[in-house]
């Protein structure tokens, strides 16, 4: 029996994936599209939190938006500060790089963590301030 036959199907599949097999363009496009839609929905939550925080409104909607942003942040941090879909896109043949799975300008996508960190701090500050003000006025 040859060595190839004794290998598990999963091992042969991994070897084939790393040996320059033809990329699955449709899968890469689908992953990028899903990731871009997820990013847009998360960004809408970020914008809502900033606007509502600046307007002094901390309500149920802000709580839901904060839960979405917090979950995304925890997933990102739990994956070593790398989007879990990047590896998936690479597996299906996307070009290498840290932002292979999103339709955004490369410089912007590459700097998203640096852009969002101060925004997260600002959102938290605004909503904590709003909650404290609400408690102080008996709301």
CA distance 57 to 104: 31
Each domain of the chain, given as residue ranges in start order, spans: 25-136
CA distance 76 to 68: 12
| Of the candidate ranges 69-73, 74-78, 92-96, 108-112, the one whose mean pLDDT is the lowest | 92-96
Residue pLDDT, tens place only, 14-42: 544 554 556 788 888 888 888 889 989 99
- Report the pLDDT averaged over residues 97-105: 64
DSSP 97: S
Give the chain's mean pLDDT: 81
Residue pLDDT, tens place only, 49-71: 999 999 999 999 999 999 999 99
Residue 112 pLDDT > 70: yes
CA distance 44 to 133: 25
Residue 77 — pLDDT band, cuts 50, 70, 90? very high
**pTM of the model as a whole:** 0.74
DSSP 93: T
Give every CB contact of residue 26 below 8 A, 6+ residues apart in sequence: none
């Amino acid at each position: 029996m040859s060595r190839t036959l004794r290998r598990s199907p999963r091992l042969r599949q991994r070897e084939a994936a790393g040996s320059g097999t033809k990329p699955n363009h449709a899968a890469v496009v689908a992953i990028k599209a899903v990731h871009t839609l997820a990013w847009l929905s998360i960004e809408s939550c970020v914008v809502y939190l900033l606007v509502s925080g600046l307007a002094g409104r901390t309500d149920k909607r802000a709580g839901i938006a904060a839960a979405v942003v917090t979950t995304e942040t925890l997933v990102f941090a739990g994956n070593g500060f790398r989007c879990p879909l990047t590896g998936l896109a690479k597996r299906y043949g996307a070009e290498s790089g840290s932002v292979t799975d999103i339709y955004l300008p490369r410089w912007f996508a590459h700097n998203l963590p640096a852009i969002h960190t101060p925004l997260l701090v600002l959102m938290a500050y605004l909503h904590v301030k709003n909650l404290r003000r609400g408690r102080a006025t008996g709301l």
